[in-house]
Amino acid sequence: MNDDTGMTSTRFVVHYDGPVLQAHEIDVKKLAPSLIALSDAFDAVQRRVAPGASLTLKARATQEGSFVIDLMMYLQLAEDLFNSPAVTAIINASTLGGVMIEGIKTIKTYAEHHGAEPEVRQADDDPTAMQITYPDGKTVIVGKAALKMFRDPDFVKNVKDFIEPTRTNGVNSVELESDDDKISVNEEEADEIFEYCHADDAEADTSVEKLHVQALDISFRKNGKWRITDGFRKHMVSIEDEAFLERIASNQESFRGRDEFDVLMRVQTTINDDGQMMKKYLAIEKVLNHESTPPPKQDSLF
């Protein structure tokens, strides 16, 4: 939508989904930081793509869904930009929204490849795009503006904060949709983004802590990671207790999904820009105690 003052606008929908949202309610403590981070991510796009403009993101009445929020983004061009037809033909709210979604898609694809460095070169038929080829042969064409956002530490940090609700129990996915495109990130994909996309984190301290955790998804492949929860957040961690893995492999110890463990966990601690302490679980160094989940009861046939 455009007007005669250099103001353009476009609509977005944010959709949070998961079992705790079936009543169409969400904890404000989860929602507010996520939406603020989304607004900050849009600001990062605006600074890169339209540095002479100002951007406003406003929430509108929710619609039916697990938890759905309508957003309107307004982009006001500076007078010198508004008076340039070449600029106004390129820079508008819809353009920024496209860069935003494509930037998140680029982050997601990179994380899906577990941080494998791709080959990046100029796209053959589009001077505004780059061709990204990953070691497994997957090739994507990405706009240069979106690639800049992928390399922008503020943007990556804000995207992580936006999808943070998926790492708490009960929220399975977050989706951002415009009139032209959409991007959805589920809990497993969010884990990969947090694991492999780093926004120039400050120097971190590492320690070993005794924790009680529950396994959500396991892998016995070499260098495979387990998805666990400590009851508050979900994490992807390595398993470095070779003795425990050997007991599982040799059937000396049985294992079920959702089993619980007392472990010695290697933990990385950083201080974010707001002065808050952030903890990231890296690896289970030793399993101290293993509590197997009892098998489900079967109804008697007699």
Q: pTM for this one?
A: 0.67
pLDDT digits (tens, 9 = 90+) for 194-236: 888 875 544 456 788 999 999 988 776 666 788 899 988 888 8
CA-closest candidate to residue 109, choices 33, 193, 38: 193
Average of pLDDT values for 31-45?
90
Q: How far is CA 8 from CA 1, 50, 103, 150, in A?
A: 5, 13, 21, 25
Indicate the average pLDDT of the chain: 80
pLDDT at 223: 65
pLDDT at 276: 63
Phi-psi label, residue 96: left if phi above 0, alpha if psi -120 to 50, beta otherwise: alpha
CA-closest candidate to residue 198, choices 147, 156, 154, 155: 156
CA-closest candidate to residue 266, choices 254, 249, 283, 251: 283
Residue 217 in tokens: 């998804």
Percent of the chain at pLDDT > 90 equals 26
pLDDT greater than 90 at residue 184 = yes
> What letter represents residue 240's amino acid?
E
- In the chain, DSSP assigns E strands to 7-17, 53-60, 68-77, 119-122, 129-133, 139-143, 173-178, 182-186, 205-217, 225-229, 234-239, 260-271, 277-291
- Are 65 and 13 in contact by the 8 Å Cβ rule? The answer is no
Q: Let me know the angle formed at the C-alpha of 230 by 26 and 188, rounded to the nearest 5 degrees.
A: 65
How many other C-beta atoms can be found within 10 angstroms of the C-beta atom of residue 287? 19
- Are 263 and 211 in contact by the 8 Å Cβ rule? The answer is yes
pLDDT greater than 50 at residue 301 = no
